[in-house]
Amino acid sequence: MSDPKSFHMSPEEFRRQGHAVVDWIADYHSRIESFPVLSRVKPGEIRAQLPPNAPEHGEAFDAILADIDRVVLPGITHWQSPHFYAYFPANASGPAILGDLVSAGLGVQGMLWSTSPACTEVETHVLDWLVPMLGLPENFLSTSSGGGVIQDTASSATLCALLAARERSTKFASNHEGCDGRLVAYCSTQTHSSIEKAMKIAGMGSDNLRHIEVDKNFAMRPEALASQIERDIHAGLTPSFVCTTVGTTSSNAIDPVREIASICRDHNLWLHVDSAMSGTAALCPEFRFINDGVEFADSYTFNPHKWMFTNFDCNVFYVAERKHLIETLSILPEYLRNQATESGAVIDYRDWHIQLGRRFRSLKLWFVIRHYGIEGLQHHIREHVRLAQEFSGWVRSDERFEIAAPVLLNLICFRLRSGDRINQDQANQLLMERLNASGDLFLTHTKLDGKFTLRLCVGQTNTQARHVERAWKRILEETEKLESS
Amino acid sequence: MSDPKSFHMSPEEFRRQGHAVVDWIADYHSRIESFPVLSRVKPGEIRAQLPPNAPEHGEAFDAILADIDRVVLPGITHWQSPHFYAYFPANASGPAILGDLVSAGLGVQGMLWSTSPACTEVETHVLDWLVPMLGLPENFLSTSSGGGVIQDTASSATLCALLAARERSTKFASNHEGCDGRLVAYCSTQTHSSIEKAMKIAGMGSDNLRHIEVDKNFAMRPEALASQIERDIHAGLTPSFVCTTVGTTSSNAIDPVREIASICRDHNLWLHVDSAMSGTAALCPEFRFINDGVEFADSYTFNPHKWMFTNFDCNVFYVAERKHLIETLSILPEYLRNQATESGAVIDYRDWHIQLGRRFRSLKLWFVIRHYGIEGLQHHIREHVRLAQEFSGWVRSDERFEIAAPVLLNLICFRLRSGDRINQDQANQLLMERLNASGDLFLTHTKLDGKFTLRLCVGQTNTQARHVERAWKRILEETEKLESS
């Protein structure tokens, strides 16, 4: 019960109910494999169980928590299940959840250094830790000309990179901020949709985004990029920005960043590197080949909330020259003026992203790094990659299947070979739908070379050998059922 | 200790440490009044206590949690202290923190309906609840042509509103998305800086933002807006968007939305209403005067994370015609295709904001509304307004002070009258600095009519009469010290 005089939850009641919620989560994670991974509800089924109006009087917390089981769980697709192989992972861990809980309990705003100095300084410090941990270039350190910031998502980080590039380009052309319709940006045909969305948001127009063709491994072809840039310059346009990807969403392809960087330098283009999931692999020295050329990047982003056991949202965004970013996004009204800002001795992160307000998100990342240590993080990344490689071996050794793209890290793209194109696509789609409908695992698809292709991404915190073995067993079972029908 | 074989925190360890974190938060809230509200650390003091490199081996959770007290707390400005009167509140409550904890435990992505149907449906449902709770127009309901979405901040919501307006305007002009440098937006001289930032981000250019003059109450003058629109049309420009504010950041001024709406209709301008803090007041019928004219708005935003006891981030954004928003922000790559989306029977919220990924943020709002009930929420909003009105009475009754703006709800703008302008500004700044340095309370300033003005905003969850009385007592004490020196 809440305090009847104040309606507030007293500290003692918070303690009791907080323990209940913690226990609920521990139990949920203990029984998570008992749920069908992909939710089976139909549109509207969840809402139909909720009362049409908000309650006039407060309800007991026990009743509210009980509705998580009764109403919410049937409508959950279990991203934290070890049988989750869909999209990219959004993994989490105990220390991350508890770091986030401390952040909620403190309830501070980190928009300015002065509004809670620890919120800014822990963030800066942890992002400096990550630079050597991942083998990233030293100009990403806050002690250099650059620095890092936590954003919500890679979509936002890529937008900020594009905006900084746009301002740098228009400054040379003496325009006001914004776009005269002549700035051009480049990505590959495989780049994440967030860059097209960013082009629309930034007012540069999605028709000024060039989708450069890829090679047989789905990586951007540098010579095609160079040719397109020449054509655009010849047409009187202004090339401004290149978005490269280290680990595309479709197939985990890695663009040749070093060669593309050379082209960018020739034409003074902003080079952005999106390594949203795969960036985490660089924790292990043997996977640091993915960082080749990143030392030439103007900006770089990866998501600890994908593969580094840190619950969403926690994107990390580095720039080589922070002044470009800050000049683009800084606004200083009177009601935010303060001595610390005016001294120039502090970072005010509200100038590093779209939003003004911001949470103490570095706590969960700090907790994760300290709980696991570099050693523990490396152990799990290695194990995920090893399991994915083992799975790809099974696929290769079964002649009914084909691998559809190089398996560089933890994502396997594969498909049934059966029949002509239409039959093949239908068979693969049916296979995916039956697997997902079974509730035993969840995987999603893409199209590669125009063909419907299954994607299996190993990255959930608790996915172990037995889960991947079971996934393959279930794929074989459903394939046999398909063949016999 | 973590499981030595896996480095992971086991469910049993999570249970134990989770209880410890909950207890820590309960204790923190019990002793929060013992801390100086505004942090006293100097730039770099927090970082200086952190090791230069990440740990190679994992650390015990007890040691990590102990660093919250040792390292973090001295660098915290206590936004959840009942003595916090600065900026706008970012209040929180037990049920909100626990709802957020459930969200972290579930760890789902709500980018598409299909990626966790409950995440979408609970959000839609709770935002539909809020429409009658706040007396907002029915076209904001999901069952009408409009609908609501939870965003991170009002900055992002205002940006989305501006983008939708930009697309609607350029569609009439048959341009590609984006801006030809001729679209104009309007706000008042008192509008939040986020609109200027949004103009830069959207590529419309901050020089195409017109800051319309205000009346003596700091509200936008409709006749000045109408004149400016006429001048812009005459100059060959295209008026596109008006940002009105119900409760400005500086002084809580309320723009005359109804009169401005009439001007917008005459010229087919998008009307946005930013009611970031004050929107919550509409829970109480007696404060619903603030919604006058909102029924003509194309978009509306307010922040439950400011004054509705829901911890940051939780912004609510409504549109009257969702198709404009969705057409602006929709991108559909192959790897996100799914049956539910293609059936058209569901909402995919990734088309309603900048980001792709999204958390289950409606849980905390759902928990708050159910815990307090409408009755409990109304009680606290009424009480905060009553305390602010009482404080303004004390200011008015002391001839050394003047009230600097109408006290419509929970914000009091006031200042010492003393001396000429320079002396007056210095005296008020000194008064603020001494109060904040004492640690007994935290308040911030603005400039009104060019004069340095103190702002005291009553909105922290636990602020009661005794806290406001103490604030006034401390202000009097420091004023007397100033006078005697």
Q: Is A33 in the same domain as A123?
A: no
Q: Is A391 in the same domain as A286?
A: no
Angle at B447 between CA B445 and CA B451, to 5 degrees: 110
Contact A55 B373 (CB under 8 A): yes
The shortest CB-CB distance from A21 to any of B102, B197, B462 is to B102
How many Cα atoms sit within 13 Å of A296 on the Cβ side?
Answer: 20
Contacts of A318 (CB under 8 A, 6+ apart): A127, A131, A136, A140, A146, A147, A148, A299, A300, A301
Q: Is B273 in the same domain as B141?
A: yes
Q: Which residues pair with A402 in a beta bridge?
A: A415
Tokens (6 digits) for A347: 């970072």
How is residue A72 annotated by DSSP?
I
Q: Is B182 in the same domain as B111?
A: yes
Q: Residue A473 belongs to what H/E stretch?
A: helix A465-483
Give the minimum alpha-carbon distance from A58 to chain B in angstroms, rounded to a whole number.
4
Distance between CA atoms of A358 and B152, rounded to whole angstroms?
Answer: 9
Q: Is the dihedral of CA B217, B218, B219, B224 positive or negative?
A: positive
Q: Which residue of A has its CA nearest to B108?
A: A79
pLDDT at A179 over 90: no
Mark out the alpha helices in B235-344 (DSSP H runs).
257-267, 304-307, 322-329, 339-343
Which residues in chain B touch residue A370, judged by CB atoms under 8 angstroms apart?
A: 54-55, 58-59, 63-64
Nearest alpha carbon to residue A357 among B399, B312, B328, B279: B312
Mean pLDDT of A321-341: 86
Q: Is A291 in the same domain as A392?
A: no
Mark out the alpha helices in A251-321 (DSSP H runs).
257-267, 304-307
Nearest alpha carbon to residue B209 among B176, B175, B179, B250: B179
Q: Which residue of B has its CA nearest to A182?
A: B180
Count how many residues are written for chain A.
485
Contact B19 A19 (CB under 8 A): yes
Residue B84 belongs to a domain:
no
Does residue A313 have a cis peptide bond before it, meaning omega lies within 30 degrees of 0? Answer: yes
The shortest CB-CB distance from B41 to any of A117, A380, A462 is to A117
Angle at A319 between CA A314 and CA A321, to 5 degrees: 155
Contact A77 B204 (CB under 8 A): no
Taking only the tens place, the pLDDT of each residue in A16-47 is: 999 999 999 999 999 999 999 999 999 999 99
Decide: residue B74, CB within 10 A, 0-12 exposed, 13-18 middle, 19+ buried: middle
pTM, entire model: 0.97
With cut-offs at 50, 70 and 90, classify the pLDDT of residue A332: confident
Tally the domains of chain B. Answer: 3
Q: What is the CATH number of the domain that holds B416?
A: 3.90.1150.10
Taking only the tens place, the pLDDT of each residue in A404-459 is: 999 999 999 999 998 777 799 999 999 999 999 999 999 999 999 999 999 999 99
Interface test with chain A among B32, B88, B108, by most A beta carbons within 10 Å: B108
pLDDT value, residue B175: 46
Q: Identify the three-state secondary structure at position B7.
A: coil
Nearest alpha carbon to residue B264 among B174, B184, B172: B184
Contact B203 A200 (CB under 8 A): no
How is residue B191 annotated by DSSP?
S
Interface test with chain B among A356, A378, A425, A436, by most B beta carbons within 10 Å: A356
pLDDT at A174 over 50: no
Task: Identify the domain containing residue B439 by its residue range.
Answer: 373-483
Decide: residue B465, CB within 10 A, 0-12 exposed, 13-18 middle, 19+ buried: exposed
Three-state DSSP string of A86-142: CCCCCCCCHHHHHHHHHHHHHCCCCCCHHHCHHHHHHHHHHHHHHHHHCCCCHHHCC
Tokens (6 digits) for B279: 């929107």
The shortest CB-CB distance from B108 to any of A77, A340, A369 is to A77
pLDDT value, residue A1: 45
Q: Identify the three-state secondary structure at position B248.
A: coil
Residue B94 belongs to a domain:
no
pLDDT value, residue B171: 75
Distance between CA atoms of B227 and B239, rounded to whole angstroms?
Answer: 12
Q: Is A210 in the same domain as A354?
A: yes
Q: Is B191 in the same domain as B303?
A: yes
Does residue B313 have a cis peptide bond before it, meaning omega lies within 30 degrees of 0? Answer: yes
Q: Identify the three-state secondary structure at position A289.
A: helix
Percent of chain A whose predicted confidence (pLDDT) is above 90: 92
pLDDT value, residue B4: 56
Contact B25 A101 (CB under 8 A): yes
Give the minimum alpha-carbon distance from B336 to chain A in angstroms, rounded to a whole number.
8
Beta strand segments in A16-66, E: none
Q: Is A82 in the same domain as A154?
A: no
Q: Which is more confident, A174 or B320?
A: B320
Residue B82 belongs to a domain:
no
Q: Is A289 in the same domain as A394?
A: no
Pairing of strands B270-274, B238-245: parallel
Distance between CA atoms of A96 and B84, rounded to whole angstroms?
Answer: 28
pLDDT at A15 over 50: yes
The shortest CB-CB distance from B335 to any of A29, A250, A336 is to A250
Q: Which of B307, B341, B367 is the last residue of a domain?
A: B367
Nearest alpha carbon to residue B319 among B328, B310, B311, B306: B328
Which residues in chain B touch residue A19, judged by CB atoms under 8 angstroms apart?
A: 18-19, 22
Residue A54 belongs to a domain:
no
Residue B90 belongs to a domain:
no
CB neighbours of residue A429 within 10 Å = 14
Q: Is B215 in the same domain as B359?
A: yes
Q: Is B362 in the same domain as B385?
A: no
Contact B7 A372 (CB under 8 A): yes
Q: Which of B367, B393, B409 is the last residue of a domain?
A: B367
Query: What is the phi/psi pair of residue A346, to 5°?
Result: -130, 165
pLDDT tens, residue order, chain B (485 aa): 445 568 999 999 999 999 999 999 999 999 999 999 999 999 999 999 999 999 999 999 999 999 999 999 999 999 999 999 999 999 999 999 999 999 999 999 999 999 999 999 999 999 999 999 999 999 999 999 999 999 999 999 999 999 999 999 987 554 445 556 799 999 999 999 999 999 999 999 999 999 999 999 999 999 999 999 999 999 999 999 999 999 999 999 999 999 999 999 999 999 999 999 999 999 999 999 999 999 999 999 999 999 999 999 999 999 999 999 999 999 887 777 888 887 778 999 999 999 999 999 999 999 999 999 999 999 999 999 999 999 999 999 999 999 999 999 999 999 999 877 779 999 999 999 999 999 999 999 999 999 999 999 999 999 999 999 999 999 999 999 998 88
Residue B56 belongs to a domain:
yes
pLDDT at A312 over 60: yes
CA dihedral A459, A462, A467, A468 (to 10 degrees): 20
In this structure, are residues A37 and B122 in contact, taking their beta carbons and an 8 Å threshold?
no
Residue B86 belongs to a domain:
no
Percent of chain A whose predicted confidence (pLDDT) is above 70: 97
Mark out the alpha helices in A214-308 (DSSP H runs).
222-234, 257-267, 304-307
Taking only the tens place, the pLDDT of each residue in A41-87 is: 999 999 999 999 999 999 999 999 999 999 999 999 999 999 999 99
Nearest alpha carbon to residue B240 among B150, B136, B140, B161: B161
Contact A46 B122 (CB under 8 A): yes
Pairing of strands A411-416, A401-403: antiparallel
Contact A2 B102 (CB under 8 A): no
The shortest CB-CB distance from B201 to any of A12, A24, A354 is to A354
Q: What is the CATH number of the domain that holds A346?
A: 3.40.640.10
C-alpha B189 chain-centroid distance: 19
Contacts of A380 (CB under 8 A, 6+ apart): A309, A372, A461, B7
Nearest alpha carbon to residue B119 among B133, B135, B107: B107
Interface test with chain A among B64, B136, B209, B341, by most A beta carbons within 10 Å: B64
Q: What is the CATH number of the domain that holds B14?
A: 1.20.1340
Contact A380 B7 (CB under 8 A): yes
Q: Residue B381 belongs to what H/E stretch?
A: helix B362-396
Distance between CA atoms of B347 and B358, rounded to whole angstroms?
Answer: 14
pLDDT value, residue B174: 42
Which residues in chain B touch residue A54, judged by CB atoms under 8 angstroms apart?
A: 129-130, 133, 369-370, 373-374
DSSP characters for A141-199? STTTT-EEEEES-HHHHHHHHHHHHHHHHHHHTTPPSS--S-EEEEEETTS-THHHHHH
Contact B54 A250 (CB under 8 A): no
Residue A364 belongs to a domain:
no
Contact B14 A94 (CB under 8 A): yes
Q: Is B11 in the same domain as B114?
A: no
Q: Could you tell me the CA-to-CA distances from A202 to A177, A307, B161, B274 in Å, in that order?
A: 10, 29, 14, 22
Give the minimum alpha-carbon distance from A22 to chain B in angstroms, rounded to a whole number.
6
Give the minimum alpha-carbon distance from B168 to chain A in angstroms, rounded to a whole number.
13
pLDDT value, residue A359: 97
pLDDT value, residue B275: 98
Q: Residue B23 belongs to what H/E stretch?
A: helix B11-30
Q: Which of B332, B367, B402 is the last residue of a domain?
A: B367
Distance between CA atoms of A454 and A415, rounded to whole angstroms?
Answer: 6
Q: Could you tell me the CA-to-CA distances from A293 to A220, A223, A244, A250, B123 in Å, in that order?
A: 14, 17, 11, 22, 43
Q: Could you tell me the CA-to-CA distances from B477 to A270, B82, B443 in Å, in that order?
A: 56, 20, 16
Pairing of strands B411-416, B451-457: antiparallel
Distance between CA atoms of B60 and A94, rounded to whole angstroms?
Answer: 13
Angle at A279 between CA A277 and CA A107, to 5 degrees: 75
Contacts of B230 (CB under 8 A, 6+ apart): none
Q: Which amino acid is at B479?
A: T
With cut-offs at 50, 70 and 90, classify the pLDDT of residue A178: low
